[in-house]
């Protein structure tokens, strides 16, 4: 689940789309424009008013890094503005990682 809010005073500066790339920590602007993203989100007026955007769960498993690219805004201007981006999810334990004390206690219950 992703959620974004542009500044309420100027919705035309809100993103038109958001491109998400998984496990590409060295991706630059040229690469983000040319490569296919894992998921591209088309932003609607509802999203700009706070409606959540559902992500395709199966595309976001084993994520070590998430690169977010915003190619432009609704108004076509030079400046795109966001007041926040919330990404809601649950981190998965990494293979070979030692479980925390809390995880060990809950496993014994």
Residue 83 CA: distances (Å) to CA of 1, 3, 67: 17, 11, 18
pLDDT tens string, the chain, 109 residues long: the values are 555 554 456 778 888 999 999 999 999 999 999 999 999 999 988 888 888 888 898 898 888 899 999 998 888 888 888 878 888 877 776 666 667 777 777 777 6
Beta-sheet strand order (sheet of 66-69): 39-42, 17-22, 66-69
pTM exceeding 0.85: no
pLDDT score of 61 = 85
């Amino acid at each position: 689940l992703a959620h974004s809010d542009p500044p309420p005073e100027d919705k035309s500066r809100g993103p038109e789309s958001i491109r998400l790339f998984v496990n590409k920590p060295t991706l630059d602007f040229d690469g983000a424009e040319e490569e296919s993203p894992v998921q591209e989100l088309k932003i609607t007026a509802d999203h700009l008013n706070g409606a959540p955007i559902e992500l395709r769960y199966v595309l976001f498993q084993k994520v070590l890094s998430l690169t977010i690219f915003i190619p432009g805004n609704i108004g076509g201007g030079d400046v795109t503005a966001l007041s926040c981006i919330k990404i809601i999810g649950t981190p998965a334990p990494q293979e070979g990682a030692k479980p925390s004390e809390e995880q060990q206690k809950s496993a014994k219950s």
